[in-house]
């Protein structure tokens, strides 16, 4: 596969155009000897059904990813529609990300009590990709919240939601 990448693509333009791709918003969390660790991620996607695999892409500069990597496992929490402010806190530096957030412990990591879904994984592989990493997780367990729950969606730099018409 050839690479005809224009090295002159402006990073701001790249971000603006890719911002037109709606994404789900999640927090990737793990148990670490120093306490719970987590980071926001909107780059989560399914990879394979057999075996069940997902991926997410932390920045190489992330200070949370090395601690999540150390644990060997992680829990992806799919944010609910009301989690916009919480999502920003999980992306911020130098704050207690779990302050005021209700969560419970799952084998792979902290699970936000009112998330839409939880996907627990063991780290399967890690690949370099520009200024980010591609982390592949082998899915060990997964669950969804009972009842109606709308996910948080990120689109053109803003939070929104999605409601399925049954």
User: Comparing C-alpha atoms, which of 64, 69, 47 is closest to residue 139?
Assistant: 47
Contact 68, 56 (CB under 8 A): no
What is the end-to-end Cα distance of the chain in Å, rounded? Answer: 42
The pLDDT of residue 166 is 47
pLDDT digits (tens, 9 = 90+) for 28-41: 999 999 999 999 99
CA distances from 72 to 27, 30, 56, 63, 137 (A): 16, 9, 14, 16, 10
pLDDT digits (tens, 9 = 90+) for 67-106: 999 999 999 999 999 888 888 888 888 888 998 899 999 9
The two structure tokens encoding residue 118:
């939880």
User: Comparing C-alpha atoms, which of 47, 79, 69, 70 is closest to residue 133?
Assistant: 69
Confidence of residue 160 (pLDDT cuts 50, 70, 90): confident
From the options 3.90.1150.10, 1.10.287.3610, 2.30.110.10, 3.40.640.10, give the CATH code of 25-155. Answer: 2.30.110.10
Domain ranges of the chain: 25-155
């Amino acid at each position: 596969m050839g690479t005809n990448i224009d090295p002159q693509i402006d990073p701001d333009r790249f971000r603006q155009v890719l911002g037109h791709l709606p994404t789900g918003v999640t927090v990737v969390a793990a148990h670490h000897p120093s306490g719970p660790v987590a980071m926001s991620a909107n780059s989560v996607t399914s990879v394979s059904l057999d075996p069940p695999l997902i991926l997410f892409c932390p920045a190489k500069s992330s200070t949370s990813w090395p601690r999540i990597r150390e644990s060997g496992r992680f829990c992806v929490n799919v944010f609910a529609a009301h989690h916009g402010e919480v999502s920003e806190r999980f992306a911020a530096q130098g704050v207690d990300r779990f302050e005021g957030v209700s969560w419970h412990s799952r084998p792979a990591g902290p699970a936000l009590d009112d998330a839409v879904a939880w996907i627990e994984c063991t780290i399967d592989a890690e690949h370099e990709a520009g200024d980010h990493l591609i982390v592949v997780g082998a899915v060990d367990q997964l669950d969804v919240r009972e009842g109606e729950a709308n996910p948080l969606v990120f689109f053109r730099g803003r939070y929104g939601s999605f409601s399925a018409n049954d």
